[in-house]
Amino acid sequence: MNAVTENTASPATAHVYTSVSDMPVCTAGLVDGQYVWKGEDASRVFIFFTGAVAPAALPLSPVFQRWKWLHKFSNPVVIARDPLIQRTGNLQLAWYAGTQNGPTFDDIVAGPLRVARELSNGEICAFGSSGGGFAALMAAVRNHVDSSMAINPQTNVLRYVPQMRDKFLQLYTGGACELNQTDKERLSVCESLWRYHDKCRTHVIINIKDLLHYHSHVLPLHRMSKLMNYESMTFSCYDDAANGHNPPSQGHTLWLMQKWWPKCIAASHRKELLGMRSIRDLETA
């Protein structure tokens, strides 16, 4: 293990810093409950959002997915904590949506945004897949970030698999499970799309073999964005029957990120990137 990799210690044992200014460059640690990598190129900063947490990992909460990747980034990265995912609970996914009476998505994302701005005065970039992709899109649609990428995302919580959806709604509503229009906007990217300023570079990537997310989540957003003439929201697709909803491998995902955010991957790790031959515009699918 090299020295840089050692500096991305497991979140469970990571050093807790009072502020990012206390962190050495190319070091990871916890700041205000968020897991932070202080990359050396502060021209942009990433916020990663976490998807569903495996039941076996819940006792380790807060869980920060992809923390082992961070030393490969030249830019700083903040992995956002979802406060609804608790080590003593059984909720695996909450989409950073909060609860009906608060906190809201905007409240929750304010923490990682504050840390991100302390790391960089440049572009704020949101990234996530699956449930984390929902949060990355919502951060874009609600105009919190400058660019965003979501892979195989949910775009409507109410269209997700009933087991996870219903468990979340019980907590979200306090057991009432009654939703008003404000709730529907908070739980659907399409319902919130009217807020989008069309200035954020937003890219959605979908495996067309992931049938649930292709038909029920991404295609409705694609149609709505075209109807509203949002030029800054673009869509790509690929074919991977074996992986289905699972995101592309680390090498493929980092390649996608490098294409969308040039030079985000440190030069010493670019040889690990793996291109995707089947990637293409969704319009040509």
Question: 235-279, pLDDT tens digit by residue?
Answer: 999 999 999 999 999 999 999 999 999 999 999 999 999 999 999
C-alpha closest to that of 256 among 247, 244, 268 = 247
Question: Total structural domains in the chain?
Answer: 1
Look up the CATH number of the domain holding residue 180: 3.40.50.1820
Token pair of 117 as six digits: 């701005």
Task: Determine the Cα–Cα distance for residues 146 and 123; give it in Å rounded to an integer.
Answer: 6
pLDDT of residue 144: 98
- Region 47-52: mean pLDDT is 98
C-alpha closest to that of 138 among 163, 101, 113, 116 = 113
pLDDT of residue 7: 59
C-alpha closest to that of 191 among 240, 156, 147 = 156
pLDDT of residue 89: 85
- pLDDT band for position 284 (cuts 50, 70, 90): low
* Mean residue pLDDT across the chain: 95
Q: Report the relative pairing of strands 147-151 and 123-129 from DSSP bridges.
A: parallel
DSSP 43: T
pLDDT surpasses 60 at 94 = yes
DSSP 107: H
Domain range spanning residue 12?
3-284
